[in-house]
Structures are given as structure tokens and as C-alpha cells.
Amino acid sequence: MRGSRFLFLIMAAAVGLTFALAGCRTGADGSRESEKPDSEMQGKPSENVSRETEGQNAIYSFSSVSQMKKTVPSEKRANVLLKGYARAGDGGGGMFCWDAESVLPPDGGVVIEAQDSEKGRYVRVCESDYRNVKWFGASGDGNRDDTSPIRAAVASLPATGGTVCFPGGIYLITDTIELGNGDGSGKASDRNGIRLVGYGGGFGIHSDKEPTVIRAESKMGAMISVRGKTAGVELRGLCINASSKARVCVEAKAVSGLVVENVVCKMFTECGIRLEAGTGEGNGCADCRFVTVSAVSMSDNIICVDVGGGEGSCVTENCVFSDCRFDIHTTVGSTACRIRNARGLAFYRSHITGYTESGSDYLVLDASADGYPSDNVFYDCSVARVTVVEEDGHFIGHHFFYGHGTYDLETVPDHPMLHGITDTGLTFRFGGNPS
């Protein structure tokens, strides 16, 4: 035990010395490097070099990216402490290595070029598949447009994907954030596995962390677009606020393995979440998972969740919705959840609801055109009302409701292809046979 404590004290002292050297090195005039104004750094890279004793690496310290870019170290390699992106402490800082021979393409957050230098790069010390939007200049203060920094963070990931972290705050966007660049048909996405992870969707539960809000600041189609064929995309811990400006919060087409968890979609003018298959072989939607997802809007003529795709599309299948709420509130001409060309969907403990007696629909099973919703199951769900659309010789398949809620005056499904048992034990066409 004594030996372990002695080793721990030595390591702690070494770490403390490293930070002291990184943060408190002084220039030739005795002032701290971080106190040097940008104008003094311009054109005078050698005057502010912090060096260890002979034979050790130099250590530079900068308060901002602009200050760092104005300095070209005289060494071939050096260690660098960046204290912030625009200013110290704003979340965009980190440790870098200066490589005088590097010609890596700069991306504005992980690889940063020195000003007026053809080669030589500051390279951030980080995992290859992890990014933080603040590294790229996102403010998250609800006052500035963060579209470009978010896009830059996503674009800097390897083709196999990775995590983009959004610390708590409000991130304004003025255009779509794309997580897949396919067309849902012949062109597959060349990017997969991108994960946007925030600090929480803000469900009204007190937490030590501020929730992460991505808010539309101008008119646009989809706020977040995932266009495949692509796989492994994840959205976690986010509030996606369309602010009655964006038509769609999340649009996913021809995706597999999409995960949406602890996410709020609200104030959209057309659709909260659109999950649709593409066209052509292999461009369906499959094995997607939605956990603790809320989609609600106060605009008329909206669809909270639209699953399946349009005419001529492939099938959406084997997707799970757990502990979700799709709510049209008091809107007119709206639908809480529409299912078209989809089968094998499973809903657990979810609410498909609203507060209007007429003029809107809740769960719509739509067999119009070539739609064929079939073999979808609802476990312990509250579904205010089920509407079936069948026309031109197209019909729905069997659907099953187990523990169908009636405690909020939900109506019992009365279509011959809808079977189940209520939460009070009342059976309706139980056993799968129309009656």
C-alpha cells in the first residue's frame, strides 16, 4: 500500500508540473503567453516560444484559434495547449501537436493550418472517431448560426463514422444537417455510422446537465437528413425544435440500424419524424429503434411520425418504438402516426394521442395506392383512435393490440383485421381471425 501511495504522489506531481508548464510559461518580457494580444503574435512566432530545458520539446499556449494560426513555431515538432476556440474557456480548446512537415487537409477543428504557411499543421490530440462541435467554433448560445461548425464537425469524421458531441446549449441552424448523402435509390451514401449525441432532450426532468437544443432559425425542409443507403446512424439526447420554420425535424430514407433515443421533435410544420424506404433492391428501412422519443406540434395538417414510404417504395420492417409519445394536441387535419408500406413494427408503452374529438386522426393504417401495412404489434399502448384507409383493391394486413389502453377513453379498434385485448381484459377478434 505504501508503495502504491508513493507511486500515486509521483504521478500527481508530474501531471501538475505538466499543466503548470503548459499554462504558465512566460515570454522573454516576463508576461504570460496567454496575455499576449493577437497583434503581438502576428509575424513574431519566435518571440513567444516556451521551451523546456535543453533537449526537451517546446510548449506553446494560445487563448484562441486565431492566435494559434498566426504563429508558425520554429521547431519541427512542438506541444500546444489551446485554451478555447474564440476565447479561453469556451469549450473549443484542447491539446495539439505541431508538425512542421504535415500537409493534412485542414478541417477547422482537428487539423488547423498556420496562417500563410503551405505546410505545417496543428493536429489535435483526440480519438479519430470523436468530435465536439465546439472544437469547430459552434457557440451553442442561441445567438449565433452554428450550421457551418456542425457541418464541419460531421465532415471531419472518417467514412466509417463516429460521434459528434453537442454540449448543453441552444444551437441555431439555417440549413439542413446531412448525415447521409445517398439518394435512396441507385446512389448509396459514402458515409455511415454518424452519431449526434447531446446532453438530453429536455423532457422536463431536472438534471445536472443543460439539455441540448438544435433550433431552426430560418425556413428549410428537413433539419436533420439521413439519406441512404446507409447504416448505423444515431441521434441521442437532443431537442430538435423546428420553431414553426422547418417542415421536418428528422428525415430518414433507406436506412438500417437507425437509433433515436431521448429525443424531442417539436414545432414542425409538416412532419416530426419521417422514416421511409427508398426504391430499388436493398433500399428498404430495417432494424431501426426509437426509445423515449416525443413528437408534438401545434401546427395544423401535420404528421408527427410517418412510417413506410410512398408509392413504389421498398418495405420498412422490423423497427421498434418504445416509450414514445406522438401527440397532435388540438390541431386540425393532423395525424399522430401514419403507417403505410411497413410490416413487423413493434410499439411498446407508447402514446399515439391528441386532444381533439374530430378533424384529425391518431393512428392511421394506410393501404391507399400500393401501401400494405401488415403484422404490426402494439403492446400496452394508448391509441386514441385507429383509422383504416383501404382503396383501389388495396387492404391492410393483420394488426395486434395487447393491453390496449382504455383509461383515457380510447376507442376499441373495430376493423376485422385488428385483433387484441384491452387493459381491462376485453378481447376483440382475439386469436388473429377476423370476426
In a domain, 414, yes or no: yes
3-class SS at 240?
strand
State which of 124, 151, 176 marks the end of a domain: 124
In the block, residue with C-alpha cell 439521413: 226
CB 345 within 8 A of CB 307: yes
Whether the Cβ atoms of residue 343 and residue 311 lie closer than 8 Å to each other: no
Residues paired with 326 in a beta bridge = 295, 352
Domain match, 116 and 191 both: no
Q: Please give the Cα distance from 307 to 340 (Å, whole number).
A: 6
How far is Cα 407 from Cα 427, in angstroms, rounded to an integer?
16
How far is 96 from 110, CA to CA, in rounded Å?
A: 9
Give 117-131 as a DSSP string: -SS-EEEE-S-TTEE
- In the numeric block, which cell numbers belong to residue 383? 391509441
Q: How many domains in the chain?
A: 2
- Which structural domain, as residue segments, surrounds residue 89? 2-124
In a domain, 280, yes or no: yes
Strands, DSSP E only, in 67-132? Answer: 77-82, 94-99, 111-113, 121-124, 130-132
Check: CB of residue 228 under 8 Å from CB of residue 256: yes
177 within a domain of the structure (yes/no): yes
In a domain, 215, yes or no: yes
Report the CATH number at residue 405. 2.160.20.10
Entry pTM: 0.86
Between CA 199 and CA 238 the distance in angstroms is: 7
How far from the centroid of its chain's Cα atoms is residue 258's Cα?
A: 11
Query: How open is the CA angle 231-235-239, to the nearest 5 degrees?
Result: 155
Do 307 and 285 have their domain in common?
yes
Q: Check whether residue 305 and residue 367 sit in a common domain.
A: yes
Q: How far is CA 328 from CA 220, 239, 322, 337, 358, in A?
A: 21, 17, 18, 9, 12
225 shares a domain with 83: no
Q: Which of 77, 98, 124 is the last residue of a domain?
A: 124
pLDDT along the chain (435 residues), means of 10: 40 39 34 36 40 60 95 92 97 96 96 90 97 98 97 96 97 97 88 96 70 97 95 96 97 96 96 93 91 94 90 87 95 95 96 86 91 95 94 92 88 93 91 52
362 with 308, same domain: the answer is yes
Asked if residue 100 belongs to a domain, the reply is yes
Q: Is residue 413 part of a domain?
A: yes
Same domain, 102 and 169: no
- According to DSSP, the β-strands at 194-198 and 162-166 are parallel
Please report the pLDDT score of residue 141 as a whole number. 96
My answer on whether 153 and 296 are in the same domain is yes
Q: Which residue has the cell 479519430?
A: 128
Calpha distance 372→339 (Å, rounded): 9
SS (H, E, C) 343-366: ECCEEECCEEECCCCCCCEEEEEE
Residues 141 and 203 in one domain: yes
pLDDT at res. 207: 57
Query: Is 155 in the same domain as 292?
Result: yes
Cell readout for 107 is 478541417
Asked if residue 115 and residue 135 are part of one domain, the reply reads no
Residue 379 in domain: yes
Q: How many angstroms separate the CA atoms of 23 and 256, rounded?
A: 46
Residues 209 and 163: their CA atoms lie apart, in Å, by 19
- Report in angstroms the alpha-carbon separations of 68 from 33, 74, 82, 337: 11, 13, 8, 51
DSSP sequence for 163-213:
EEEE-SEEEEESSPEEEEE--SSS---S---EEEEES----S---SSPPEE
CB 302 within 8 A of CB 328: yes
Among 124, 145, 164, residue at a domain's last position: 124
Asked if 116 and 135 sit in the same domain, the reply is no
Q: 168 near 134, Cβ under 8 Å? A: no
Query: Quick one: 7 and 103 in the same domain?
Result: yes
Q: Decide: helix, strand or coil at residue 68.
A: helix
Q: Does any domain span residue 433?
A: no
